[in-house]
Amino acid sequence: MGGMHDDPTVRTVHLGQFTRAAADEIAGELERAGIVWWYKEPGFFSQVWEHGVRLFVDRTRLDEARAIATRVVEGSGG
């Protein structure tokens, strides 16, 4: 699943914006949980005002994904 998926019925929603390290860890946990996800890094110009990686997840599993993200961020101290 790691970012891309082939199921056209899956709709994603914004999970949040995270540091690259936290996003990597969250993505790994999402994969283990079987949650479809993808990410968007800031572009060349937008990196001036947009810091971090935005993660998107299957909207039907948003609550579970939020719990994973919270656990990762709180566990990493930021």
Domain range annotation of the chain: 12-76
Residue labelled with tokens 């709180």: 74
Averaged pLDDT, 1-9: 61
Q: Could you tell me where the DSSP H helices lie in the chain?
A: 20-33, 62-76
Residue, of 3 and 70, whose pLDDT is higher: 70
pLDDT digits (tens, 9 = 90+) for 13-62: 999 999 999 999 999 999 999 999 999 876 565 555 567 899 999 999 99
With contact defined as beta carbons under 8 Å apart, do 27 and 39 qualify? yes
pTM: 0.81
Model confidence at 77: pLDDT above 80:
no
Fold classification of 12-76 is Alpha-Beta Plaits (3.30.70)
Q: Which residues 6+ apart lie within 8 Å of 50 measured at CB?
A: 17, 42
Local confidence band at 1 (pLDDT 50, 70, 90 cut-offs): very low
Query: What is the model's pLDDT at position 52?
Result: 85
